[in-house]
């Protein structure tokens, strides 16, 4: 059974701090990794994707991938209250189909 694991949270950080979200996956053959943000009552939106080991930065967001450890993370720098949402980690398998983690709820306190 292919699995993607995330801490459900809630993760609470003060405004301006770095939020660190973590995800592990079971399928060593997975090629692509995605982070989605989901606000309450809304559909998920793609915020980052990463294919290669190492770091990928986009504005305040950094995705980190370590395939040997089967670990992917998302760092949010200078966290804002508007970043408060559930963050879903997703991993590809079988021709592009995604498996999603349960999501980590992030709360950024002003």
Partner 1 sequence: DGGITQSPKYLFRKEGQNVTLSCEQNLNHDAMYWYRQDPGQGLRLIYYSQIVNDFQKGDIAEGYSVSREKKESFPLTVTSAQKNPTAFYLCASSQEYYGYTFGSGTRLTVV
Does residue 2 touch partner 1 according to CB under 8 A?
Answer: no
- Binding to partner 1 by CB under 8 A, coded x per residue (else -) over 38-67, reads ----xxxxx--x-x----------------
Among 28, 68, 82, 96, binds partner 1 (CB under 8 A): 96
Instruction: Please report how close the Cβ of residue 16 comes to partner 1 at its closest, in angstroms.
Output: 28
3-state SS assignment for residue 83: helix
Q: Which residues pair with 21 in a beta bridge?
A: 74
Beta strands in 8-53 (DSSP E): 11-14, 19-25, 33-38, 45-50
CB 32, CB 51: distance < 8 Å:
yes
- Which positions touch partner 1 (CB under 8 A)? 31-32, 34, 42-46, 49, 51, 88, 90, 92, 95-98, 100-103
């Amino acid at each position: 059974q292919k699995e993607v694991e995330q801490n459900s949270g809630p993760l609470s950080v003060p405004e301006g701090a770095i939020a660190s979200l973590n995800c592990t996956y079971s399928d060593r053959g997975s090629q692509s990794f995605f982070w989605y943000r989901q606000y309450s009552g809304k559909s998920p939106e793609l915020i980052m994707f990463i294919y290669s080991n190492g770091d990928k930065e986009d504005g305040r967001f950094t995705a980190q991938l370590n395939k040997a450890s089967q670990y992917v993370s998302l760092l949010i720098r200078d966290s804002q209250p508007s970043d408060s949402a559930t963050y879903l980690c997703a991993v590809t398998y079988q021709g592009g189909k995604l498996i999603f983690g349960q999501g980590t709820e992030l709360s950024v306190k002003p």
